[in-house]
Amino acid sequence: MSESTNRALAWVTDLRAEMWCVTFTHGITPEDVLARYGADTSAAQFFTRQHADQLHHGSLPEGSVLRAGALGDWSFCFEDNGVMGAMPGPLAALSQGTETLSVLQGGDGMNTFAQWRDGQCTEQFEPGFAHTRPAPPHPWWDTVHERLDASKEEHPGLAPVLEAVADHISAVLDLHILNGPLLTLLLEDSNRAFGPRRAGAAPQPPGRILGCPTVSGPPSPPATRSKRNPPITQHTYGTKTGQ
C-alpha cells in the first residue's frame, strides 16, 4: 500500500472516533444504498460530517445517521456511532445481486469485517483474533492478516483492513470524502424491514453481528492477494468484553 493511501486512511486510527461502521457495495448508486437500508430516500440531503453529527442528538440508540457516497463503481455508507451496516438484515439487502463489504469498529472493542454476496454471508471475522477465523476457503482472512502481520504494530487498528478493501475496490475512502457533503438521513426505526428481497423471502431481523450462515460455493477472493503467510500473530485492538 502506498504512503499516500496510508495518509488517506489516517482517520481510521483517530481515537476520538470510538465507534463507526462502513459498507461498500458494488454497482449500485448511493440512493440505492440508502433504500436498501430501508430508508425513505426522499428525506436525504447533502450534509457535511459536522452537520450530520447534529442529527444524532436524542436519536440514538433507536436510529442511525446514514451517509452515502460513490467511489468509482462502488457506493459506500458510513455511520458514526452506528452499527446497522454490520447487521445481517441490511447486509442481506445491500448485497442482493452484487457484493457488499462491511467494516465495523465497535465501541465495546469488537471489530468485524464481513463479505456478503447475493444476500448471503460468505466470510466474516474479527481481525486479529484467531478464534474467529472462518472455515476455509477464507481469502479475505488471509489477505487481511498478511497486512496485519506486515504492519509490525501491536495495535494496528482497522487500517490494514481498509487498505485491503481499498485494493479490492480500487478506491480509497479518505477523510476529505468523509468530512465533505454526502447524501445523509436519519433512519429512526432500525427494526424496519430491509429491501429489496426476493419474492416470498422472509424479513431478516437485525440480529447479532457475528456468525455467518452456511453458504454453498467458495467466497470471491479480494482483488489483490499475495502468498499466504504462516499462522498469524494475534493482534489486540482494545478491550474485549467477556475475554
Tens of pLDDT, residues 108-161? 778 999 999 999 999 999 999 999 999 999 999 999 999 988 877 766 689 899
Question: Can you give the pTM of this predicted structure?
Answer: 0.80
Provide the edge-to-edge strand list for the sheet that holds 120-125. 45-47, 182-187, 64-71, 74-80, 20-26, 99-105, 111-117, 120-125
| Dihedral, CA of residue 36, residue 40, residue 208 and residue 76, to nearest 10 | 50
Query: Which residues, 6 or more positions from 207, have their beta carbon under 8 angstroms from its beta carbon?
Result: 87, 88, 89
The residue whose grid cell reads 453529527 is: 53
**Cα–Cα separations (whole angstroms), residue 83 to 65, 155, 175, 206:** 10, 22, 20, 10
| Dihedral, CA of residue 161, residue 85, residue 82 and residue 242, to nearest 10 | -70
Question: For residue 143, how far is the Cα from the chain centroid?
Answer: 16
Whole-angstrom Cα distance, residue 76 to residue 57? 23
Tens of pLDDT, residues 37-71? 999 999 999 999 999 988 876 545 567 999 999 99
